[in-house]
Amino acid sequence: MTKQYIYSLYDAKTGALRAKGTPQELMEQGYYNRAESVCTGYAHQKKKKAKPKKWRLEREEKQPKPKAEPDHRTGTQMREVWLYSMFDADGNLLHEGAAAELVEKGLFKNTQTVTNVFYAGHCRPQGIYSLTRKRIRRGVLCNAPGARSSVPKKSRPPITGIEKPDELQRDVHELCLYNAAARKAGKKELSYGYWAAEGKPEAPA
C-alpha cells in the first residue's frame, strides 16, 4: 500500500503554521499550482538542507481511519462539509469546526460570514491571522427506524395519506412542522441537513 502524507506548511520567516493537508488540499487552497509541487518541494528542502525562502514543509504519515463499530440503535446520514481551522499570529489553533458549528459557538453571525472570512484570509478583530479549510465527510446520527414510536408524541399532528411511513418520511414530516413553527415565530427555516445537525428539534429555541 502506498504511503500517504499530511504536510504542514510554515511561514519561513515567522515560523507560523499557515496550512495543513494533503498535497491535493494544499493545491486547492491556492498555496501550490500542482499537487506534485508539494512533494518535490519537501524533497528539495530535505536534500539541500538550506533555509527555505517562503515556505517550510514538514510531513507526517497519514494514519488510516479506524473502522467505526456499527450502532444498531441509530442510523447515520453522511454529509460532506468544509472543516475550518483558524490560527492566531503565532500559528496556534484558535477555533476549528464546520461553518454551522462556528456560528453556533457565537463566533460568527452566519455561515456566509465564515466563508467571507476564509476568502479574506484573516479576521484581525477576533485575533484570526490565517485559516485553512478542507472537505470532510461527517456522520449525523439519527434515530433508527421504529425508535420514535417508543416515545409517542401526543401533541404532534399525525402523518396523513401514508399507512406505514419510513424514517425519511417521518423526518420530512417533522421538518415541515418545525419550519411551520419557525415561520410563526418569525425565525429562520432550516434545511434538512442543518435541522439534522441540530438534533432534529421539534421547534426553534
Global confidence as pTM: 0.37
Phi, psi for 97 (deg, rounded to 5): 155, 170
- pLDDT by residue for the chain (205 residues), tens only, comes to 567 889 998 988 888 888 888 888 888 888 888 888 888 888 888 887 767 778 888 888 877 666 555 544 455 567 788 899 999 988 889 999 988 889 888 888 888 888 888 988 898 888 999 999 998 887 655 554 444 444 444 456 777 767 777 877 888 888 888 888 888 888 888 887 777 777 778 887 7
Full residue range of the structural domain in which residue 167 is found: 156-204
147-176: b (≥16 Cβ within 10 Å) or e:
ebeeeeeeeeeeeeeeeeeebeebbebbbe
Is there a domain that residue 146 lies in? no
Number of domains in the chain: 3
| Domain co-membership, 96 together with 41 | no
Is there a domain that residue 69 lies in? no
| Domain co-membership, 91 together with 43 | no
Is there a domain that residue 83 lies in? yes
Is there a domain that residue 148 lies in? no
Domain limit, last residue, from 88, 111, 141: 141
